[in-house]
Amino acid sequence: MMKSKYLLLIGILAGLFGVAAGVYFFRPRTFHGMVLQSPELANDFSLNAANGRTVSLRDYRGKLVMLYFGYTFCPDVCPATLANVGKALEQMGKQADEVQFIMVSVDPERDTPEQLAEYVAHFHPSFVGVTGEPDKLAELAALYGIYYQKHEGTAATGYLVDHTATIAVIDKEGYLKLVMPFGLTAEEIAGDLRNLLR
């Protein structure tokens, strides 16, 4: 009699654990960015990084790739975005190894591969900065829905570049899955990345 009660209790506990696990793993995911279900692979590229290295999107297959278009002379939006992404990766701990952030320059006249490498490293050591021929960059930006335009500034600042400040997130298989708007906090960015890694 005691044995059957004991087995019944174990069965109930196992059932409750199964329900709890199901609720945890299959609960709806809430994203702060805009979720996309693209049937085609994200547009690849081949651009120049520091030390004569060429970087392609396919180099990071198996990782989430955060693709951001900006420039090193950007006075506000770019540093704010990179700082929040860097903090988000720090919050993610070991999971951050599954994420690669790439900044594509929209200012090839001034941004050399070496300048980009130095700039992005201020925000996180894993960040990569790339540039290329103006026509090639413009074509890639258009494929990702990125607008940018050069505007003359003051003598002190030189020209500025207005640009779309979203981040495209490509999944481990190479599909565009999420577009993060400007202004997300580090916590919100980390939450969206964790959801994609689940």
pLDDT for res 158: 84
So what's the pLDDT on residue 37?
84
Mean of all residue pLDDT scores within the chain: 88
Low-confidence spans in the chain with pLDDT less than 50: 2, 5-27
Tokens matching residue 122? 């201020």
Can you tell me the distance from the alpha carbon of 91 to that of 72, in angstroms, rounded to the nearest whole number? 25
* pLDDT computed for residue 4 by the predictor: 53
Q: Cα 172 to the chain's mean position, in Å? A: 12
DSSP letters along 38-104, please?
-SSBPPP-EEE-GGG-EEEGGGGTTSEEEEEEE-TT-SSHHHHHHHHHHHHHHHHGGGGGGEEEEEE
pLDDT at 19: 42
Q: Are 10 and 169 in contact (CB under 8 A)?
A: no
Residue 1 has a pLDDT of 52
Given this model, what pLDDT does residue 20 score?
43
